[in-house]
Amino acid sequence: MHSVSNGIALRSDLHRLFDRGYITFDEDHRIVVSKRLREDFENGVNYYRMQDEGKRLWIPQRAADRPDLKALEWHREATFLG
């Protein structure tokens, strides 16, 4: 089912990394970058910097428009490469 809470607006590079499991977001919506990014591509400095700076998703004011925490949890457990 299509739902606003089942979507996250990300720039294209982050979207690809998210879909492939190289990044995810924690329960506080902070970016988490897999160590596999560095291992697989010998790169990722900018993404690790985002993690070190505690970059977060922008969260809408309306609760109905926010990313579903259960879906993000599923992504961390089922897709994220850790």
Task: Tell me which residue has tokens 């599923």.
Answer: 74
How is the chain split into domains, by residue range? 4-78
pLDDT tens for 21-48 read 999 999 999 999 999 999 999 999 999 9
The contacts of residue 15 (CB under 8 Å, 6+ apart) are none
If pLDDT is split at 50, 70 and 90, which confidence band does 1 have? low
Q: Is the dihedral of CA 11, 14, 17, 23 positive or negative?
A: negative
pLDDT tens for 51-79 read 999 999 999 999 989 999 999 999 999 99
Q: Is the pLDDT of residue 2 over 90?
A: no
pTM (predicted TM-score): 0.92
